[in-house]
Amino acid sequence: MKTTDYSKVADVYDKNPYRFEEVRMDVDLDKYIKNNPKLSYKILDLACGTGIYLERQVDFFKATNIHWHGLDASQEMLHKAKEKVEKAAFDHGRAENMPYEDETFDIIINNYAFHHFAEKEKALDEVQRVLKKGGVFKMDNIDSYGMKNWWVYHYFPAALGEDYKRFWGRDLIFSELSERGFAVRIDCNYQMENIEIADYLGHVENRDISVLTLIDDSEYEQGLYRMKQDLASNPEKQITNDFSELFCIARKN
């Protein structure tokens, strides 16, 4: 399985405004806190990247006594995160070998990053180990198996093959977590709409979408060329796009 080199992506990662616009108050975290009142909480953002999630949640939950932690395998991404978030402890490490004691965290959050883990089974073993009994593992990700007409796959068909190598389907996620003693619930949100290609050209040119870093440069250039050709013939060109997201809540029994 190919992996994205985030030392090369870190400088452009935050230039994608959608990553900031889509971060809202974590309602699942809010629900957990309300249903499990404690004097304090320990929360880990696993594969925290540049700290976009943590930056917003620290502000949203500033009235709650939370010890925030972030773990990432990229020093360059962590450097960006530390610049954003002062009220969090950051560690360099891999999900497959976390530098934490057993049963450390009340909640572990993994946003759109599980597909990057090279040894997913081992990563889940670590999640199970460092999560407290009754704690929650919350994972959000795209559901690549349910969105074959995503605009990225339309222009870069090799990206679909790469994502099939990286992503687990929801059935496998459910069974692997269940086998580790979690009570699991998975929801999916699917949408189909017509989109204007002009709105996405900048993301391709920025090449901050991880799968675009995995395909060959020639395939990337060909897809970018096709987008530009379509826009040259019709600046308002639209295509039908589908998108599916997976939301998993797993409580450790």
Query: pLDDT tens digit string along 204-218?
Result: 999 988 899 999 999
Stretch among 1-10, 162-171, 187-196, 237-246 having the lowest mean pLDDT: 1-10
Give mean pLDDT, residues 219-237: 97
Using DSSP's 3-state secondary structure scheme, residue 247 falls into strand
Q: What is the pLDDT of residue 112?
A: 94
Contact between residue 201 and residue 232 where contact means Cβ atoms under 8 Å apart: no
d(CA 205, CA 207) in angstroms, rounded, equals 5
Flag whether pLDDT at 17 surpasses 60.
no
Its CATH class, for the domain covering 6-252, is alpha beta
d(CA 212, CA 156) in angstroms, rounded, equals 8
Got the DSSP string for 102-133? TT-EEEEEEES-GGG-SSHHHHHHHHHHHEEE
Q: How far is CA 73 from CA 4, 70, 90, in A?
A: 11, 10, 11
Q: What is the pLDDT of residue 4?
A: 72
Give mean pLDDT, residues 7-16: 62
Flag whether pLDDT at 18 surpasses 60.
no
Contact between residue 206 and residue 152 where contact means Cβ atoms under 8 Å apart: no
Going by C-alpha positions, the residue among 107, 103, 95, 15 that lies closest to residue 66 is: 107
Q: What is the pLDDT of residue 7?
A: 61
The residue ranges of every structural domain in the chain are 6-252
Q: Which amino acid is at 213?
A: T
Going by C-alpha positions, the residue among 141, 148, 191 that lies closest to residue 168 is: 141
Please, which pLDDT band fits residue 24 given cuts at 50, 70 and 90? confident
Using DSSP's 3-state secondary structure scheme, residue 208 falls into coil
Give mean pLDDT, residues 81-88: 94
First to last CA, the chain: 32
Q: What is the pLDDT of residue 250?
A: 98
- Tokens describing residue 142: 């795209």
Q: Which amino acid is at 44?
A: L
Give mean pLDDT, residues 80-94: 96
pTM of the complete model: 0.91
Going by C-alpha positions, the residue among 70, 61, 80 that lies closest to residue 7 is: 80
